[in-house]
Amino acid sequence: MNKPIFTDLVIICVIAHLVRTIYEILKHRNIIKATRLTFVIVFADMLVLWTSWFLLCSADIRKVDLPPVIRYSGVVLVCAGLVSFLMGLLTIKTLESFEGDLITKGIYSRIRHPMYLGFILWLIGSPVFFGGVFSFLLCFLFLGNILYWRYLEEKELLERFPEYRAYRETTIF
């Protein structure tokens, strides 16, 4: 793949991350509320984000030839991330909780943020599988971004649900 396509994919991925981060900040500051419309926007943004990420990793202009056991550990991470994400999504049936109770059943009985964990596993696993040097380095920037989204959500959950502190003590991530 050529350098302009890779650069375009980096730009698309960065913009998609920025859109999601701006949304999270505006939501945290109560400037906008989670609604069905914001769900559609976030869902579309996440589709662009992850599609551009996987394409970016495969199109990385600087690759290393990793041993198969390491490369395929990237596939395992991506698959584990997909399972974590889907289990979280199927449990709450939305990317955004509009109202309601704290979800502590299913995968949420063990992991507080299975969808964010899934994103992180995708982030790390994809460049490992494709052997992408630049995408692997870029994943750390995006990892920080996802951890920031999680931080904002944790603050919101602590404010909304008094029982969240105790729940945090019994779960990971």
Please report, for the chain, the start and end positions of each structural domain, with discontinuous segments joined by +.
3-169
User: Across all residues in the chain, what is the average pLDDT?
Assistant: 93
Q: What is d(CA 113, CA 1) in angstroms, rounded to the nearest whole number?
A: 35
Average of pLDDT values for 47-51?
96
Give the other-Cβ count within 10 Å of 147's Cβ. 12
Judge whether residue 101 has pLDDT over 70. Answer: yes
Pair of tokens at residue 65: 């030839």
Q: What is d(CA 150, CA 43) in angstroms, rounded to the nearest whole number?
A: 17
| pLDDT tens string 16-38 | 999 999 999 999 999 998 888 88
Q: Is the dihedral of CA 64, 68, 73, 78 positive or negative?
A: positive
Average of pLDDT values for 51-73?
96
Give CA separation, 102 vs 37, 92, 106, in Å. 22, 10, 12
Judge whether residue 91 has pLDDT over 60. Answer: yes
Q: Domain 3-169 is of which CATH architecture?
A: Up-down Bundle (1.20)
Give CA separation, 90 vs 87, 109, 173, in Å. 5, 14, 19
| pLDDT tens string 106-133 | 999 999 999 999 999 999 999 999 999 9
pLDDT at 148: 98
